[in-house]
Chains A and B, each alone.
Chain A
Amino acid sequence: EIVLTQSPATLSLSPGDRATLSCRASQSLSRYLAWYQQKPGQAPRLLIYDASNRATGIPDRFSGSGSGTDFTLTISSLEPEDFAVYYCQQRSNWPPLTFGGGTKVEI
């Protein structure tokens, strides 16, 4: 089973700041990694797939990069609605599909 480790666990930032979230895999994923955003009381929402492609309707302040075992989600300038928990997920070697433990972006 591929283990995804996200860091940091919590990121304390202000609106307008740049956020950099990391996801590290226990083995190479090529580019089979996605990022999801989850707000309190809501289901996750797909942000980025295949490491760097924005899903439909996702603002361009969200960007993904990386390949192999190291991946990054960057939010260029935080908007108030971006404060949430972010999860990475792999589908390189499955089943099982696995998620990272999440990074909370808080004000």
Chain B
Amino acid sequence: QVHLVESGGGLVKPGGSLRLSCAASGFMFHDYYMSWIRQAPGKGLEWISYISGGGGSTYYVDSVRGRFTISRDNAKKSLDLQMDSLRVDDTAVYYCAREGELGWFDLWGPGTLVTVSS
């Protein structure tokens, strides 16, 4: 069964760190670009980072560049997001998503909630 499942969310203080993971199953993980997309409570969707299938190409939106690091382990079929220097406005549900063969997000995990609060 084709699946993505995120883990690692939780409550962290401003300035703290958290590492999210996304476990993939049921498809050739290394063939796909993967992204992290977040959604603040009651707000819309914000794409924040992607990584190419081989891991050699990455991108970050301005709001997280220099603080977040995306990585993947194709052998373990795992996608990670290391989040440092967290801010209150990083509070959101974080989704991992697969960019399908047609270039759109055709597979999403259920999300993991990150709350940054003192």
Give the A-B contact count at a CB cut-off of 8 A: 51
Contact A44 B102 (CB under 8 A): no
Residue-wise interface mask of B (101-118) relative to A, using a CB-CB cutoff of 8 A (1 in contact, 0 not): 011111011110000000
A46 to B95, CA, bound (A): 14
How many residues on the A side are at the interface (Cβ–Cβ under 8 A)? 22
Does B50 have its Cβ within 8 Å of any Cβ on chain A?
Answer: yes
The bracket for how many chain B residues form the interface is 10 to 19
Q: Are A49 and B102 in contact (CB under 8 A)?
A: yes
Q: Which residue of A lies closest to B63 (CB)?
A: A96
Task: Point out residues on A near B: beta carbons under 8 Å.
Answer: 32, 34, 36, 42-46, 49-50, 55, 87, 89, 91, 95-102
Give the interface of B toward A (CB within 8 A).
35, 44-47, 50, 59, 61, 95, 100, 102-106, 108-111
